Structure 1
Amino acid sequence: MRTVFRRRRRREQPEQAVEQAQEPAAPTRESGPWDADEPHPDTDRIDYGGLRLPDNPDFDIRPATVGDQHVSVVVRYEESMLSLQALAAPRSSGLWDEIRIKIRAQAKDLKEQEGPFGTELSGEIKAADGNVRPVRYLGIDGPRWLLLGLISGKGTHDEAVSAAFVDFIKDVVVVRGDEPMAREEPIPLRRPNEQPGESGEDRPRLNPFKRGPEISEIR
């Protein structure tokens, strides 16, 4: 049974104080992905700890696990797949420019193109099973985090499927937290029915760009 995150409603104020009660601030941008600490639309989302994802029955959402640690989430839709992972970033600058260089060093055939979130990578990579498949890498820098996405399947070229994934990403909320984290450290995830601390948050962190748990290997 999955847990759906909803913002807590304010308790009713005494009649004389109703006019002073403040409603949640309106979003200052048209769409996300959102930081948990900024105003964002009050919609139903599934709580995966470091990520809160839109609760839409059209998408099949599962955590991707390496060993006993959740490293990303996989969203399936129309014979396509979107993998999402949030990484800790420095306060002073974003990570996507740097991560993009690292990805291209591993997959030299990928080309840069402009997409709905800025510069992205697209092309073909050789999967772990030896097959060549089309992919799109998307990176969105937020306050002290990077949301890294990988689309494979029809979503790399089918406009309708691609648009559905883009809309999904635009409603994601990233929960960075206040604890110190190393550069590029994955922001901890957990299953919706897990409590904080049950998903291996004290275990050594995984580097998604080393062979094995890198996001391009998740199928």
Structure 2
Amino acid sequence: MFGRRKKGAADDAAGEAEQVVEGMDPQDETDTADAAEPQRVSLPPAPRPDGPWDVSEVREPGEGRVDLGGIFVPGVEGMELRVEVAGDAIVAATVVLRDSAVQLQAFAAPKKEGIWGEVREEIASGITQQGGVIDELEGPLGWELRAQVPVQLPDGTGGVQVVRFIGCDGPRWFLRGVISGQGAVQPEAAGLLESIFRDTVVVRGDAPMAPRDPIVLKLPDDAQMVAEGVQQQEPQAQEGSRFAGGMGQLARGPEITEVR
């Protein structure tokens, strides 16, 4: 089942986390990248023996996966798949499984350099500057960020949302995931979401793209669109630079309003 939403509609933890990151000042991003350069920049992508995969590495990418053009998302029984839009372009997909979700988004990347290290620095800087808490650790999918992000609850009071930022560098692409819900609160319960991320296939294409440009997705030909059934409060407007120096045109994430 597919759901389609416009950027700017109120959403879940992944979107809230991105709101916070989007509030960074451009100079802060530059300073962060400069400070991290000796350790984070010009590193080649790490090996990916267990995925995520480049389309050239998979014989039948559409077997058992949903074809979204720029990515093939593994199909899992009981999942809900939602597409996310920025303007008129579909730029992300969210897999919802019960009380957890993972948002997937692919970006162009330099040919010989990975960007996940410096992106982690930028995400962490943006969240901590706004009062959040970040832990950087090596998880089942490699280095990741586990964040406690300050958010405004529907009743107007302040709260904290827990999310996990995961990522993987591939050949000329970068795949980012945001795990929210129970899979973020209890990472040991996120095995299936992690498997979905790991088995995703990225189709970068041969067209010239600037690093960090989103890889545009498409709906499957036989997709059945369904309307949103939940009305939520509009979030407060966030001013500032684009997320991670070019990843700011992110659609909002899965519709999870409570973490238990």
Larger of the two Rg values belongs to structure: 1
- The 1:131/1:72 distance shift into structure 2, 3 A limit, reads farther
The one of 138, 147, 162 equivalent to 1:123 is 147
Q: Secondary structure at the match of 1:93?
A: coil
- Per-residue CA shift, 1:77-102, capped at 9, x if unaligned? 12111111001100011110111111
Which is bigger in relative contact order (C-alpha 8 A, separation at least 6)?
Answer: 2
Name structure 2 gaps, 5 residues minimum. 3-46, 223-241, 255-260
- Per-residue CA shift, 1:11-63, capped at 9, x if unaligned? xxxxxxxxxxxxxxxxx975311100114566321100101011223221110
Q: CA RMSD in A?
A: 2.6
- The 1:143/1:128 distance shift into structure 2, 3 A limit, reads farther
Q: Partner of 1:104 in structure 2? A: 124
The count of corresponding residues between Structure 1 and Structure 2 is: 181
Post-superposition offset of 1:123? 2.2
Q: CA–CA distance in 1 between the matches of 2:214 and 2:248?
A: 15
Q: Residue 34 of structure 1 contacts residue 40 of structure 1 at CA under 8 Å; is this kept in 2?
A: no
Q: Residue 125 of structure 1 contacts residue 132 of structure 1 at CA under 8 Å; is this kept in 2?
A: yes
The one of 184, 187, 203 equivalent to 2:215 is 187
What is the letter of the counterpart of residue 153 of structure 1?
A: G
Matched, 1:85 2:113: no
What is the letter of the counterpart of residue 126 of structure 1?
A: P
Q: Partner of 2:53 in structure 1? A: 34
Q: Partner of 2:71 in structure 1? A: 51
Post-superposition offset of 1:159? 4.7
Q: Partner of 1:8 in structure 2? A: none
Q: Residue 213 of structure 2 contacts residue 247 of structure 2 at CA under 8 Å; is this kept in 1?
A: no
Q: CA–CA distance in 2 between the matches of 1:100 and 1:160?
A: 22
TM-score (norm 2): 0.62
- Larger helix fraction of residues: 2
Which has the higher mean CA deviation after the structures are superposed, 113-122 or 57-66? Answer: 57-66
- Per-residue CA shift, 1:142-183, capped at 9, x if unaligned? 111111000111001335531011111121100011111001
What is the letter of the counterpart of residue 138 of structure 1?
A: I
Q: Secondary structure at the match of 1:32?
A: coil
What is the letter of the counterpart of residue 99 of structure 1?
A: V
Q: Partner of 2:85 in structure 1? A: 65
Q: Residue 88 of structure 1 contacts residue 187 of structure 1 at CA under 8 Å; is this kept in 2?
A: yes
What is the letter of the counterpart of residue 172 of structure 2?
A: R
Q: Secondary structure at the match of 2:56?
A: coil
What is the letter of the counterpart of residue 173 of structure 2?
A: W
Q: Residue 33 of structure 1 contacts residue 173 of structure 1 at CA under 8 Å; is this kept in 2?
A: yes
Q: CA–CA distance in 1 between the matches of 2:189 and 2:98?
A: 7
Name structure 1 gaps, 5 residues minimum. 3-27, 195-206
Q: CA–CA distance in 1 between the matches of 2:85 and 2:59?
A: 29
